[in-house]
């Protein structure tokens, strides 16, 4: 390919010409291979606009172009109640007969005549089920208040969120809502307990304090103690209710209360 001008018969020059030709062919082949490889690997970005795509179109495009697809939102914010609905179920006691007026009235009318000890279930049960009814109402009100706040919150995004990311975010929203409801209920219950205990308020059954008069006709309140727990220093002291059987001098424990 690279003959000398004029043609030469010198073997040394001919050898140089052969080497030059071979080197040129090798370099040309290598250059072409590099060019073909570069052309096959390079990404050429082409922008295509699709006006108002459907969900199916967006899903198909996202599965094909997850890194480059961009879909701007017409509205960048939306209330949670437009796409989320929270269903909840209270403890079964809250839908049972045991917190109804009929059951509480039955307990009141079924009490035996005479004086009952404060730890007798037939005496305290009436107030226990009234308290359970109040707790169920408190739970319902707490959830209702939190739902009102939750539904009025807004999801904000300038572009369409991928389905997997959106589902993860939604689950996080619901988990945060559940945590907020639990904390609010515990706070309300703790406030009732601490207010009663710190102010030495006597309950109707005198199970946290008892009254005693002295020789000067003064009435004093004294905190009760249950085992190692004293009502003066703790708001969560508890004891087990019983049902006394007077004739046999025995008493029956009522488990769970």
Instruction: Give residue 15's pLDDT band: very low, low, confident or very high (50, 70, 90).
Output: confident
- DSSP secondary structure letter of residue 120: B
Produce one character per residue of 76-107: b if its CB has 16 or more CB atoms within 10 Å, e if not: eeeebeeeeebeeeeeeebeeebbeeebbeeb
Instruction: Give residue 162's pLDDT band: very low, low, confident or very high (50, 70, 90).
Output: confident
pLDDT above 60 (res 125): yes
Section 72-76 average pLDDT: 87
Average pLDDT score over the chain: 83
Check residue 243 and give its pLDDT: 80
pLDDT above 60 (res 38): yes
Query: 3-state DSSP call for residue 152?
Result: helix
**Residue ranges of the domains in the chain?**
1-41, 75-207
**Percent of the chain, pLDDT > 90?**
22
**Number of helices (H), then strands (E), in the chain:** 5, 8
46 is written with which tokens?
Answer: 């082409």
Check residue 179 and give its pLDDT: 93
Check residue 177 and give its pLDDT: 92
Those residues whose C-beta lies under 8 Å from the C-beta of residue 77, and which sit 6 or more positions away, are 154, 155, 156
Section 170-184 average pLDDT: 91
Section 149-171 average pLDDT: 89
Classify residue 181 as exposed, middle or buried by CB count within 10 Å of its CB (0-12, 13-18, 19+).
buried
Give the residue, 113 or 78, on which the prediction is more confident. Answer: 78
Q: Residue 120 phi/psi, 5° resolution?
A: -80, 130
- Does residue 90 contact residue 136 with C-beta atoms inside 8 Å? yes
Q: How far apart are CA 32 and CA 40, in angstroms?
A: 12
Check residue 249 and give its pLDDT: 47
- Does residue 202 contact residue 221 with C-beta atoms inside 8 Å? yes
Instruction: Give residue 246's pLDDT band: very low, low, confident or very high (50, 70, 90).
Output: low
**Secondary structure element (H or E) that encloses residue 167, with its range:** helix 163-198
Q: How far apart are CA 53 and CA 157, in angstroms?
A: 17
Those residues whose C-beta lies under 8 Å from the C-beta of residue 120, and which sit 6 or more positions away, are 241, 242, 243, 244
pLDDT above 60 (res 49): yes
Check residue 146 and give its pLDDT: 92
Check residue 6 and give its pLDDT: 60
Predicted model pTM:
0.66
Q: How far apart are CA 16 and CA 11, in angstroms?
A: 9
61 is written with which tokens?
Answer: 């495009």
Beta bridge partners of 251: 244
pLDDT above 50 (res 147): yes
Check residue 248 and give its pLDDT: 54
pLDDT above 70 (res 118): yes
């Amino acid at each position: 390919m690279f003959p000398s001008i004029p043609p030469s018969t010198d073997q040394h020059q001919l050898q140089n010409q052969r080497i030059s030709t071979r080197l040129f062919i090798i370099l040309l082949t290598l250059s072409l291979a590099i060019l073909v490889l570069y052309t096959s690997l390079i990404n050429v970005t082409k922008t295509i606009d699709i006006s108002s795509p459907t969900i199916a179109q967006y899903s198909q495009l996202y599965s094909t172009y997850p890194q480059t697809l961009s879909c701007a939102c017409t509205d960048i914010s939306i209330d949670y109640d437009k796409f989320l609905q929270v269903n909840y179920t209270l403890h079964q006691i809250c839908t049972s007969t045991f917190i109804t007026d009929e059951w509480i009235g039955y307990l009141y009318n079924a009490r035996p005549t005479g004086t009952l000890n404060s730890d007798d279930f037939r005496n305290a049960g009436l107030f226990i089920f009234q308290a359970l009814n109040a707790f169920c109402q408190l739970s319902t009100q707490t959830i209702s208040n939190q739902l009102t706040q939750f539904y009025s919150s807004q999801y904000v995004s300038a572009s369409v969120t991928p389905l997997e990311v959106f589902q993860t975010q939604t689950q996080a929203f619901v988990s945060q809502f559940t945590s907020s409801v639990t904390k609010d209920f515990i706070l309300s219950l703790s406030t009732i307990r601490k207010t009663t205990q710190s102010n030495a308020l006597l309950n109707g059954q005198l199970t946290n304090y008892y009254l005693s008069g002295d020789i000067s006709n003064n009435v004093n309140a004294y905190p009760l103690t249950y085992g190692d727990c004293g009502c003066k220093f703790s708001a969560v002291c508890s004891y087990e209710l019983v049902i006394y059987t007077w004739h046999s001098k025995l008493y029956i424990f009522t488990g769970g209360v």
